[in-house]
Amino acid sequence: MSVRVTIETASKAEAERLAALLEQGAKPESWRGFGVIRLGSRSEAETADVIELVAAGVERHDVRWARVRYDDDERVFRANGRR
């Protein structure tokens, strides 16, 4: 079962930092001033891995926030203690 995953950030630069942590096909774009990464996931386990990488990336790579949308769900991650 294929799952479409969309990751949104506050800027394209932040999306680029997160895309570097993800698979080769993760290409950051800019949409209405926000950073966006769209990619496909082949399973629930792969989707969970993407979510885990984004959560870690927000904390480690100076990303203010990231929203991960998949299926009918979404998760929001915010950097604690900064900005």
* Residue 33, token pair as written in the block: 């001033």
Is-contact 38 4, C-beta < 8 A?
yes
The boundaries of the domain holding residue 60 are 3-71
Residue 61, classed as helix, strand or coil, is coil
- Going by pLDDT thresholds of 50, 70 and 90, the confidence category of residue 23 is confident
* Cα(47)–Cα(49) distance, integer angstroms: 5
Q: Is the pLDDT of residue 83 over 70?
A: no
Total domain count for the chain? 1
Establish if 77 belongs to a structural domain: no
Establish if 13 belongs to a structural domain: yes
Q: Is the pLDDT of residue 22 over 60?
A: yes
By C-alpha distance, which of 62, 37, 54, 11 is closest to 80? Answer: 62
pLDDT for res 12: 95
pLDDT tens, position by position, 24-74: 678 999 999 899 999 988 999 999 999 999 999 998 988 999 999 999 999
Establish if 62 belongs to a structural domain: yes
Establish if 32 belongs to a structural domain: yes
* Residue 30, token pair as written in the block: 């800019």
- Contacting residues for 78 by C-beta, under 8 A, at least 6 apart: 58, 64, 65
